[in-house]
Structure 1
Amino acid sequence: MTDLVKLSGPMLTPTSGPEKSLVVLLHGYGSDGRDLIALGQFWRDSFPDTMFVAPNAPHVCGGNPFGYEWFPLDLERDRTLSRLTGAETAHPIIDGFLADLWAQTGLGPADTILVGFSQGAMMALYTGLRLAEPLKGIVAFSGLIVAPEKLGAEIASKPPVLLIHGDMDDVVPVMGSEAALPKLIDLGVDAGLHISQGSGHTIAQDGLDAATAFLRKAI
Structure 2
Amino acid sequence: MVQIDPSLIQWSVDESERDGRPLLVLLHGVGSHEGDLIGLAPYLPQAFAIASLRAPLGHGDGFSWYPLTTPGSPDPEPVDEAAAAVLAWLDTLGDTHPSISLLGFSQGGSLSLQLLRHAPERFTFAAVLAGFVVPDPAAEQRDAELARVRPAVFYGRGDADQVIPIDAVTRTTEWLGEHADAELAIYPGLAHGVSQDELDDLNAFISRVTNPVTADSTQAPDSTDVVL
Give the TM-score taking structure 1 as reference length.
0.82
More deviation, 171-180/21-30? 171-180
Task: Give how far 1:185 is off.
Answer: 2.2
Gap runs ≥5 in structure 1: none
1:96 aligned onto 2:94: no
Distance 1:87 1:212 in 2: 27
The residue aligned with 1:172 is: 164
Selected match of 2:67 from 72, 76, 80:
72
Q: What corresponds to 2:76 in structure 1? A: 84
- Relative to the length of structure 2, the TM-score reads 0.79
Identity %: 25
User: Are the structure 2 counterparts of residues 211 and 150 from structure 1 closer, same or farther at C-alpha, using a change threshold of 3 Å?
Assistant: farther
Bigger relative contact order, structure 1 or 2 (CA pairs below 8 A, ≥6 apart): 2
- Give the secondary-structure state (helix, strand or coil) at the position aligned to 2:186: strand
Across the two proteins, how many residue pairs are aligned to each other?
Answer: 203
SS at match of 1:54: strand
- CA positional deviation for 1:42: 1.9
> Superposed, which structure 2 residues align to 1:8-87 within 5 Å?
8=6, 9-13=9-13, 17=17, 18-43=19-44, 46-47=45-46, 49-61=47-59, 64=60, 66-74=61-69, 78=70, 82-87=74-79
> Is residue 11–residue 51 contact of structure 1 (8 Å, CA) maintained in 2?
yes
- Match among 150, 153, 161 for residue 161 of structure 1: 153
Q: 2:72–2:168: 8 Å Cα contact kept in structure 1?
A: no
Quote the RMSD (CA, aligned, Å): 2.5
Q: Which among 114, 119, 142 is matched to residue 131 of structure 1? A: 119
SS class of match (1:209): helix
Aligned to 1:212: 203
Deviation, structure 1 residue 175:
4.9
Unaligned runs of 5+ in 2: 214-228
1:11 partner letter = W
The CA distance in 2 between the partners of 1:180 and 1:41, in whole Å, is: 29
Q: Structure 1's 127 and 118: CA in aligned 2 closer, same or farther, altered over 3 A? A: same
Asked whether the 8 Å contact 1:19–1:50 carries over to 2, the reply is no
Note the C-alpha offset of 1:126.
0.6
- Contact 2:127-2:153 within 8 A present in 1 as well: yes
Q: Does 1:107 align with 2:97?
A: yes
Distance 2:88 2:177 in 1: 28
